[in-house]
Structure 1
């Protein structure tokens, strides 16, 4: 669980949507909200008792005040952090445990929702990064639960822990999706075309394997209703479709031990970030 929820703000409508999501996340988690305006040089030191936050852009200060009025009990700080935005945001998120960013929104290139800074930060940060698009509405809940993509052959404890925790703090259901080729056990790019008797046997085996893998997590989070599904759809497509009725979609990002200086999102995470209908959390894991 994070100590504070960090959100990157720059005065844009995209970052305003991210800040509202982050503020509600902080409130439900019992954390503070830390608003970061990243990039450029360090603002000049101001004499006391002047509030250093006053050196921030006016839209950022107005957003802070708006969130304070919206959630009056929430502890909110707002500061400028110098340096390259990707490095500054990733470092701030890593210290606190959770980073929230605005994506491109519904403007820009058709079908693409993620800007370069958000995409690169999600690929570099050592903490979970949530990307929220402009047009996100409401706070979700039981009716719009959390969706997570998994591979039962190599379950990630970091990804599942984050997904279960998010469902728990929302009082929401968790939908666990696994995309498999029922003939090979690998992620698929097309619908299966094996003999019916083989398909029937393998179709029965795959859900059972997933249920067995999730059993310890059900015990750890008994309050979270879980629906586990195995689909023959490609993982990216399955998660994008599931995101239509989700308040949060969770995907993993495998970190590279051999090439740590060359992080990547992976094809599934990349597709979901660009096309999901809900906020998307990218969780790094070994």
Structure 2
């Protein structure tokens, strides 16, 4: 595999967690790890390559050396890239196919302090962007579930491909969750009808559609154990709850054919990013 895993680093605890996660991801998938320190201005043209490396912040260099020691077979490059951090990282990630960025732990309302760089990257990138909160275990709980949100009426190939690939690389179970607005009130009908019976019937029908949407991917990834479920909870809440025992949650981000002036993440992705208990991958799709 020729592409690298790109991770943004700035010497902070959250970027260290992201770099560790990215390093294990690169090691599992046989990729190179590219550590990018973004921002500032273009270095002097007269600077020697070694000078450019040594000018990086000490915590970044120490992190690079520690990762090389923990994963001795991993190829690592580390460089400074000028310009706005979000756009510099997006450009690097788009070239390589995967971008990893840190987020700043839990906020006062039990939500993640995602930060403008991470949000902009997740909203603009043409490649999957993984956000990793500070304190995340580097190997990502490799055999814990990978969770993916699915809409069986419009299954997204890009999202499902990424989720199945991640589960296959980790030897993990894939949990596919679909949110449906299942009725809870009474129905007025000619004959008495028990509402739970209607709810169960609709849920069973939705589960069949979900299984059908997953069937081609089960065939492509026969080694992946798959658990499909339909919930009446809102999609964001269901995925946040599932993230408690997950190594990764995968959500989609629709990219309209006409690029808007201000790209958005969508309500589900936004909720998951701000309240997740695990790393989150935002995968763009048509």
Q: Which whole-Å deviations, capped at 9, do the CAs of 1:78-115 have from their partners, x for residues lacking one?
A: 01111111110100000000000000223577523311
**Partners in 2 of 1:109 and 1:177 — Cα distance?**
25
TM-score, L = length of structure 2: 0.92
1:45 Cα deviation after fit: 3.7
**Partners in 2 of 1:209 and 1:274 — Cα distance?**
29
Q: Which residue in 1 is equivalent to 2:142?
A: 141
Q: Secondary structure at the match of 1:50?
A: helix
Q: Which whole-Å deviations, capped at 9, do the CAs of 1:65-87 have from their partners, x for residues lacking one?
A: 11111111110000111111111
Confirm or deny: 8 A CA contact 2:38 2:88 kept in the other structure: yes
Deviates more, 1:250-259 or 1:69-78: 250-259
Q: Secondary structure at the match of 1:102?
A: strand
Within-5 A mapping of 1:197-276: 197-276=197-276
Confirm or deny: 8 A CA contact 2:110 2:275 kept in the other structure: no
| Structure 2 gap ranges (5+) | 187-194
Q: Secondary structure at the match of 1:113?
A: coil
The list of structure 1 runs, each at least 4 consecutive aligned residues, that deviate by more than 6 angstroms after superposition, is none
TM-score, L = length of structure 1: 0.92
Confirm or deny: 8 A CA contact 1:39 1:84 kept in the other structure: yes
Confirm or deny: 8 A CA contact 1:2 1:97 kept in the other structure: no
Q: Which residue in 1 is equivalent to 2:89?
A: 89
Alpha-carbon RMSD: 1.6
Q: Which residue in 2 is equivalent to 1:187?
A: none
Confirm or deny: 8 A CA contact 2:173 2:226 kept in the other structure: yes
**Partners in 2 of 1:196 and 1:105 — Cα distance?**
40
Compared CA separation, residues 156 and 150, structure 1 to 2 (3 A): same
Confirm or deny: 8 A CA contact 1:113 1:275 kept in the other structure: no
Number of aligned residues = 277
1:49 Cα deviation after fit: 6.6
Q: Which residue in 1 is equivalent to 2:185?
A: 193
